[in-house]
Amino acid sequence: MQMNLAGKKVLIFGLLTDDSIAYSCAEAAMGQGAEVLLANAPGRPTSLMQRIAKRLPEEPVACLSADVTEPEQLQKLGEDVGAIWDRVDAVLHAVAFAPPAALGGNFLKTEWADVATAMHVSAYSVKALTVSLLPLLEKAGRASVVSLTFDATVAWPVYDWMGPTKAALESITRYLARDLGPSGIRVNAVDSGPIRSMAGKSIPGFDQLADAWPDRAPLGWDTKDSTPVADTVAFLFSDASRMITGQVIHVDGGYGVVGA
């Protein structure tokens, strides 16, 4: 079976800038024939998304908004999507946020309120978003949910509480895969090497991670090129990945397998 998204209905949540992984994923999905609907948080994120969406090769079906921490807004999102499409074949969860106090060397000093915010937005929301779209995903018959992560198996400098948050995201991926598999819904995460996007640059000390990656990764790594990640996401959206679920797929140039 070939990797092809012709006729697929794909929702991408979290597209913000044209240097983001989500933007590349939208391009890749459109390039393979998918209809793409965009969504983001209300206010400035949605305004930015609407502006950047004009740079995509095709016009998105719609640009919607919802706060992933507000159940009522997620329910409304599901209703709004359902008014446009009769099903959803694939979802990309490209959502991550941690308050400044949870990053940059403050691990021992971070208060629970800041940790809770990071966990809610960056990890729990993948479950909440999926459930809000579940009736539409079930109607697809063979649907795919993909989220983005960063290696949670080790403790990274400056990443601090986003590390445990990504570990939670990866664990949630496995539990969702368990519970949604009987409905034909696959759930996976893609572990990307560092990309110089707005999200990456917002992490204090991001350059410390990104600068070392190209030399250490066996295949090399271009921190300005998110297309390898997008191509992997498109594969996971496609029926070619129909028996892959609960997995963390590493797209990092091989960095994660090198000991020193």
Average pLDDT for residues 190-215, to the nearest whole number?
A: 79
Q: What angle do CA 42, 99, 144 make, to 5 degrees?
A: 55
Q: Give the mean pLDDT of the chain.
A: 94
Average pLDDT for residues 170-189, to the nearest whole number?
A: 98
91 and 146 Cβ atoms separated by less than 8 Å: yes
Residue-wise pLDDT tens digits, 2-45: 568 999 999 999 999 999 999 999 999 999 999 999 999 999 99
pLDDT higher than 90, residue 84: yes
177-183 contacts at long range (C-beta below 8 A, 24 or more positions apart): 177/245, 177/246, 178/246, 180/130, 180/134, 180/137, 180/145, 181/245, 183/134, 183/137, 183/138
Task: Return the pLDDT at 168.
Answer: 98
List the domains of the chain with CATH numbers.
9-257 (3.40.50.720)
CA 150 remoteness from chain centre? 11
Task: Return the pLDDT at 157.
Answer: 84
pLDDT band at 206 (very low <50, low <70, confident <90, very high): confident
pTM of the model: 0.95
Average pLDDT for residues 244-259, to the nearest whole number?
A: 93
90 and 11 Cβ atoms separated by less than 8 Å: yes
Q: In the chain, pLDDT over 90 holds for what percent of residues?
A: 86
pLDDT band at 169 (very low <50, low <70, confident <90, very high): very high
18 and 227 Cβ atoms separated by less than 8 Å: no
pLDDT band at 199 (very low <50, low <70, confident <90, very high): low
Average pLDDT for residues 37-66, to the nearest whole number?
A: 95
What's the Cα-to-Cα distance from 103 to each of 96, 111, 118, 125, 133, rounded to whole Å?
Answer: 13, 12, 10, 20, 31
Average pLDDT for residues 75-79, to the nearest whole number?
A: 98
Task: Return the pLDDT at 228.
Answer: 97
pLDDT higher than 70, residue 50: yes
Which secondary-structure segment (H or E) carries 25?
helix 21-31
pLDDT higher than 90, residue 88: yes
Q: From CA 194, how far away is CA 203, in angstroms rounded?
A: 11
Residue-wise pLDDT tens digits, 95-110: 999 999 999 888 999 9
Task: Return the pLDDT at 76.
Answer: 98
Task: Return the pLDDT at 201.
Answer: 62
Pairing assessment for the beta strands 63-65 and 9-13 based on DSSP bridges: unpaired
Task: Return the pLDDT at 135.
Answer: 97
